[in-house]
Amino acid sequence: MTSELDIFVGNTTLIDEDVYRLWLDGYSVSDAVALRVRSGILEQTGATAAVLQSDTMDHYRTFHMLERLLHAPPKLLHQLIFQIPPSRQALLIERYYAFDEAFVREVLGKKLSKGTKKDLDDISTKTSITLKSCRRQFDNFKRVFKVVEEMRGSLVDNIQQHFLLSDRLARDYAAIVFFANNRFETGKKKLQYLSFGDFAFCAELMIQNWTLGAVDSQVDDMDMDLDKEFLQDLKELKVLVADKDLLDLHKSLVCTALRGKLGVFSEMEANFKNLSRGLVNVAAKLTHNKDVRDLFVDLVEKFVEPCRSDHWPLSDVRLFLNQYSASVHSLDGFRHQALWDRYMGTLRGCLLRLYHD
């Protein structure tokens, strides 16, 4: 006796959260059954393995049919085939678009192209996330990217509107899209200590302040592309380190203000010029795409690492950066105060976030 056909269709589509998770994690039916058996469900319910197999198959089939709709979540809301309560719909969508930290760190800032997709095998091996799950996550990134690129308005809003994600998840996707669009390097060894959250935090600040959308909310891709004009203008900041008098004045202003307040004052004093040069040079180089990509590498190299090697506590870093930014306002010869604030305001936030072990 072999089962040829075995289905269960409810007027309300049954969604088993545990099975959904197994499916999302990319387990095959037989693996999923084995995992469920291990969870002790048979003992709890008195069911047999055959029942579990049939149940798992059913759910997998349902998810498979739902997947097409999940690719465009508003369709899930308007479709008539599956009657699913709204709370469950939200759960389906949210879980489908959720991603693994380990995975996203691997592809963050990479071009969401076929080439990258080919590397998913390696990522799968490295992260021990199933290839299927990797693919799903990658395709989600790519799909969201495709939909929201060249779109007007706030990136987060667009993502929320087209994918019905929670605010939290939509922000994460905005960061992923932003990183993919600007191809920021995140994979270097020195960047390994950074989490996705760190990058997402930076992305949000950069979107708010450095993109076209920060000045004009009526352009396409406003939140995805950095404001080219702004990047050009950043060259003007060079004067802060190129002009020796200005640099000295800046240093003395900062040192005066921080004397006695900083545990690492002497280190700061000794390193000031290096640090300032590093931060200003990063700004000046952002006209080149290559250097934009290396932004985080540069920040870590030029600022985070030197401070860390001198064992600056975070509070000192904060005090320093605040004073460093603010003192510029007292430099009479410097005319680009607004530009400086737009640059340094964001950078300060990023650096503070990036500064940890």
Partner 1 sequence: MPGKLKVKIVAGRHLPVMDRASDLTDAFVEVKFGNTTFKTDVYLKSLNPQWNSEWFKFEVDDEDLQDEPLQITVLDHDTYSANDAIGKVYIDIDPLLYSEAATVISGWFPIYDTIHGIRGEINVVVKVDLFNDLNRFRQSSCGVKFFCTTSIPKCYRAVIIHGFVEELVVNEDPEYQWIDRIRTPRASNEARQRLISLMSGELQRKIGLKVLEMRGNAVVGYLQCFDLEGESGLVVRAIGTACTLDKLSSPAAFLPACNSPSKEIKEIPFNEDPNPNTHSSGPSTPLKNQTYSFSPSKSYSRQSSSSDTDLSLTPKTGMGSGSAGKEGGPFKALLRQQTQSALEQREFPFFTLTAFPPGFLVHVGGVVSARSVKLLDRIHNPDEPETRDAWWAEIRQEIKSHAKALGCHAVVGYSESTSICEEVCILSASGTAAVLNPRFLQDGTVEGCLEQRLEENLPAGCGFCHIPYDELNMPFPAHLTYCYNCRKQKVPDVLFTTIDLPTDAAVIGKGCLIQARLCRLKKKAQAEANATAISNLLPFMEYEVHTQLMNKLKLKGMNALFGLRIQITVGENMLMGLASATGVYLAALPTPGGIQIAGKTPNDGSYEQHISHMQKKINDTITKNKELYEINPPEISEEIIGSPIPEPRQRSRLLRSQSESSDEVTELDLSHGKKDAFVLEIDDTDAMEDVHSLLTDVPPPSGFYSCNTEIMPGINNWTSEIQMFTSVRVIRLSSLNLTNQALNKNFNDLCENLLKSLYFKLRSMIPCCLCHVNFTVSLPEDELIQVTVTAVAITFDKNQALQTTKAQVEKSLQRASTDNEELLQFPLELCSDSLSSHPFPPAKATSVDYSSFADRCSSWIELIKLKAQTIRRGSIKTTVTVEKASPMGEGNFRNRAAPPCANSTVGVVKMTPLSFIPGAKITKYLGIINMFFIRETTSLREEGGVSGFLHAFIAEVFAMVRAHVAALGGNAVVSYIMKQCVFMENPNKNQAQCLINVSGDAVVFVRESDLEVVSTQQPPANCQPLCTGGEVTT
Query: Contact residues for partner 1 (CB under 8 A)?
Result: 1-14, 45-48, 50-52, 54-55, 57-58, 61-62, 64-65, 75, 78-83, 85-86
Which residue's CB is nearer to partner 1, number 44 or number 218?
44
Establish how many alpha carbons lie within 13 A of residue 308's alpha carbon, considering only the half-sphere containing its beta carbon: 15
Which residue's CB is nearer to partner 1, number 20 or number 178?
20
Shortest distance, CB of residue 141 to partner 1, whole angstroms?
Answer: 22
Which residue's CB is nearer to partner 1, number 29 or number 339?
29
Handedness of CA 285, 288, 292, 296 (dihedral sign): negative
Contact 152, 219 (CB under 8 A): yes
Q: Please name the residues in contact with 100: beta carbons below 8 A apart, sequence gap of 6 or more.
A: 127, 129, 133, 137
Residue carrying structure tokens 């700061």:
268
Which residue's CB is nearer to partner 1, number 13 or number 124?
13
CA–CA separation, 313 and 263 (whole Å): 8
The pair phi, psi for residue 83, each rounded to 5°, is -90, 110
Which residue's CB is nearer to partner 1, number 79 or number 166?
79
Residue carrying structure tokens 């390097």:
185
Which residue's CB is nearer to partner 1, number 60 or number 184?
60
Q: Residue 98, Cβ neighbours under 10 Å: how many?
A: 15
Shortest distance, CB of residue 337 to partner 1, whole angstroms?
Answer: 50
Residue carrying structure tokens 């640090």:
275
Shortest distance, CB of residue 89 to partner 1, whole angstroms?
Answer: 10
Shortest distance, CB of residue 27 to partner 1, whole angstroms?
Answer: 18
DSSP conformation class of 332: T
Shortest distance, CB of residue 35 to partner 1, whole angstroms?
Answer: 16
Q: How many residues does the chain have?
A: 357
Contacts 24+ apart (CB under 8 A), 71-77: 71/143, 72/162, 73/162, 73/163, 73/164, 73/165, 74/162, 74/164, 77/164
CA–CA separation, 109 and 233 (whole Å): 25
Q: Residue 85, Cβ neighbours under 10 Å: how many?
A: 11
Which residue's CB is nearer to partner 1, number 74 or number 263?
74
List the structure tokens of 122.
Answer: 């390696």
Which residue's CB is nearer to partner 1, number 162 or number 273?
162
Shortest distance, CB of residue 6 to partner 1, whole angstroms?
Answer: 5
Shortest distance, CB of residue 83 to partner 1, whole angstroms?
Answer: 7
Shortest distance, CB of residue 318 to partner 1, whole angstroms?
Answer: 46
Which residue's CB is nearer to partner 1, number 29 or number 292?
29
The pair phi, psi for residue 310, each rounded to 5°, is -95, 5
- What is the amino acid identity at position 260? G
List the structure tokens of 1.
Answer: 């006796």
Shortest distance, CB of residue 84 to partner 1, whole angstroms?
Answer: 10
